[in-house]
Amino acid sequence: MATKFLALSCIRNDSRVNLSPRPHYPSMPRYPKGESVEGSEAKAVFSVIGMTCSACAGSVEKAVKRLPGIREAAVDVLNNRAQVMYYPSFVNEETIRETIEDVGFEATLIKDETNEKSIQVCRIHINGMTCTSCSSTVESALQEIQGVQKAQVALATEEAEVRYDPKILNTNQILEAIEDTGFGAILLSSGEDMSKIDLKVDGVRTDRSMRMIESSLHALPGVQEIETYPLIDKISVSYKPDLTGPRTFINVIEETGSRRFKAKLFPDEEGGKNTHRREEIKQYYRSFMWSLVFTIPVFLTSMVLMYIPGVKHWLETKVVNMLNVGEIIRWVLSTPVQFIIGRRFYSGSYKALRHGSANMDVLIALGTNAAYFYSVYSVLRAATSPDFKGADFFETSAMLISFILLGKYLEVLAKGKTSNAIAKLMNLTPDTAILLTQDNEGNVIGEQEIDSRLIQKNDVIKIIPGAKVASDGFVIWGQSHVNESMITGEARPVAKRKGDTVIGGTLNENGVLHIKATRVGSESALSQIVRLVESAQMAKAPVQKFADRISKYFVPLVIIISFSTWLAWFLAGRFHSYPKSWIPSSMDSFELALQFGISVMVIACPCALGLATPTAVMVGTGVGASQGVLIKGGRALESAHKVNCIVFDKTGTLTAGKPVVVNTKLLTNMVLREFYELVAAAEVNSEHPLAKAIVEYAKKFREDEENPAWPEARDFISITGHGVKATVRNKEILVGNKNLMFDHNIAIPADAKDILVEAEGMAQTGILVAINGELVGVLAISDPLKPGAEEVISILKSMKIRSIMVTGDNWGTANSIAREVGIETVIAEAKPEQKAERVKDLQASGYTVAMVGDGINDSPALVAADVGMAIGAGTDIAIEAADIVLMKSNLEDVITAIDLSRKTFSRIRLNYIWALGYNILGIPIAAGVLFPSTGFRLPPWIAGAAMAASSVSVVCCSLLLKYYKRPKKLENLEIRGIRIE
């Protein structure tokens, strides 16, 4: 075809992986028509040698799917693998292997890879973590377990994500390891690529009945794991939604006991994580309110009532020697606060110290204990001495604990709001769905309202106007407009008709749709997005290592500074280094020194440092998801804010990716219909996007036929980077670029060369057609620019970001497109590995490079770049190679992603400045640096309040990112529409 014909296929994505708005469906039946499938299906994995681009992969996939008994085939060109699901009663592995070799590639069966993945992922909620020291302790303990491949612990979300080998250990062992470190652990999810459903079974009276039900379910294909909870009549089933589903489970359970058992969905607990968060908020609220009940009287008796004459006299009434009523009241009231309400700090300290680390609980416990036990000493001495005049600090310990509990309550409240984006996504799925029953001819014979969790793959669902789409799928009947903004961020409703895909959770605006469910449970777009955002919020940004390093030494250093402060003031008082007038009338020099030491201990806040990065990353990734920009964690955010060079792929990225034939020039006397019949017959066997454009155009000459049958093409050969060759009606047909013609010694007339130059000057791709060794025609194919491409490049220039275009297309077309959008640097005729090399060259020159591409063949460059941005829309958003996924296919989202990362990272910087500045300024002030010159000192309870406020302020600072707005330049950008005739 055109210059470097098949190299262009390396720019377009294979339809299996591309974020295309249209699904990829096999054209052939899964098994011979009229025959039933007997026995279970099997899976085979083949090594395929010789594939160079998505056109090759498409050829293999198409050939395999034409075999009888093939359920599904997926070809991975990057790893040279083909995975085939098939029915052994119709086809075998050897036939599949021979078919692949018939296409022109070397195929070998890989038996070892036919087993399931050996690595699973579980998510665990962890109770009791207070600072980065805690999270580091848990993470280290998990990493040391044999069988754990990777463990991440996030302080902000209070969760751990563990990748482990299920052959070596199970989730119970992981939970025990966490609990051994002194923290509570609750399993949120386990397994990989599995869906899980909880069922309530009534009528089970014996263990034998439960075992019988369990055995029946285990026998079903696709059932992975079953957990039973006899006390509450609950069964949890983990399964593969491709093979089975919850309605099947319910039917099997009810038929197992001759209708004696009744099964239904277990009442929804509204998500484990949210339940834990709400319970934690309630606990802190209750603790704070109870502490107030005791602390307010303590505060009043020590600081307010002492100034009311009558009450003062009563409080100072002596009970035993110098012990008065006020001291007894404060001792009695502060003791429950110290040991009952404040027991969480003792527990946290013990757990941390037991594992050789020190956290915030250690500082709080030391500070409050110092105040409380000195006060006990003072009270006991007053009771046993007739002339001792000491002061108690019961109000210090009680008020400290109260203010810290208030701070923790506000902190968990604010932290809960940082993950609102995930909560909103999870609530998008409707509660119910209308399930249609059809006869063999596809006519609707009944409908039934069911719980949306009961939807299974291939169900037909009815979506009425104003209702949410209940499942991912494609339209089989009806027309409507669907608002997909809640998933993709795209504000404009998208027209849907037969064959178009729909995403679960989106809103049907008008018209009735019948959709066939294709992705349910964990496979749905919504589930993938939620998993991606959750994983992003778990991942640590490199800048967080700074806080982790500080946290190791923070608490021990603060304890040393606190003790040194007390000792310095105590010795200064003992040796009369400062005037006695500095000492308040209610205390002596030892008590003054003790207050300074306690203030230092409780004002230091490791929490603020630990929360500075993860809370900002959580809010930033959540905001990105709501804008249709999926950012895979802190590392991507940190790299994106430094980007100063962007490499763009052309086809499908800068252009619409929908090539169309715009001009045909015949060089010999020939009927145009006959010409296109021959060309289409040769090109119909190719998966290349330009080939598809030619075939679609050829159909216009056969408008009387819905699916025209083209003449048979024999001896078809796809010549990588050049074009195709075939024999049609005993004529040798060549369709491709100039190199193809040169290789076959076909002369190119001067007028044909002129047409090619003219086409390339208009950013069109020229295709040459030869019949029986003579050049007979030239086709011009155009791929229109995406809306706003020129404006986006202009805005990037204003942001001081250099734009470069790298494409597999010919130089003429590439230069024309570059001129049109305003890109100065162009690299054309580049293969996938050459794109990655260009990215590395730019990095070596000192650039921080982002690669923007839409195809599987852009993956090497996406991985090589500092930030890989996959541009594409639809349901398949789990692109492994990319750091950022742009859901809407709009180029403007490249700017949104970079701007959001810059705003998020500036918020992280601000958090660090505040957290470090707070500690750097707060500790000296608490130590009494200002006291000699100004007489100002920080009482311990005020220091405790300041410590609590610092963590809350950091979280609130991160929460301000929720109000992020795209750059105004984008809001004023008028997006032109694309019209394709």
Residues labelled as active-site residues: 649
Report the SS3 class of residue 976. Answer: coil
Give me the DSSP letters along 125-161. EEE---SHHHHHHHHHHHHTSTTEEEEEEETTTTEEE
Cα three-residue angle 956-961-963, rounded to 5 degrees: 110
SS (H, E, C) 837-890: HHHHHHHHCCCCEEEEECCHHHHHHHHHCCEEEEECCCCCCCCCCCCEEECCCC
CB 359 within 8 A of CB 606: yes
Confirm if 894 and 869 have CB atoms less than 8 A apart.
Answer: yes
Rounded to 5°, angle at Cα 349 from 344 and 353: 155
The answer to whether the beta carbons of residues 730 and 787 sit under 8 Å apart is no
Cα–Cα distance between 775 and 772 in angstroms, integer?
Answer: 9
Alpha-carbon span 762 to 814, nearest angstrom: 10
Q: How many whole angstroms separate alpha carbon 667 and alpha carbon 659?
A: 23
Q: ∠ CA 396-399-402 to the nearest 5 degrees?
A: 150
Pairing between β-strand 774-782 and β-strand 660-666 as defined by DSSP bridges? antiparallel
Residues in Cβ contact with 94 at an 8 Å cutoff, skipping those fewer than 6 apart: none
Output the CA–CA distances (angstroms, integers) from residue 949 to 299, 403, 601, 915, in the order listed.
20, 9, 15, 11
Q: For residue 878, what are the CA distances in angstroms to 497, 631, 632, 883, 885?
A: 25, 12, 10, 11, 8
Which segments within 211-302 are labelled E, that is strand? 223-229, 234-239, 262-265
Per DSSP, the residues of 339-350 read IIITHHHHHHHH
Residues recorded for the chain: 981
Enter the tokens of residue 453: 């969790």
Gyration radius of the chain over CA positions: 35
φ/ψ bin of 616: left (φ > 0), alpha (ψ from -120 to 50), beta (otherwise) = alpha
Token digits of residue 910: 């601000």
Burial class (CB in 10 A: 0-12, 13-18, 19+), 710: buried
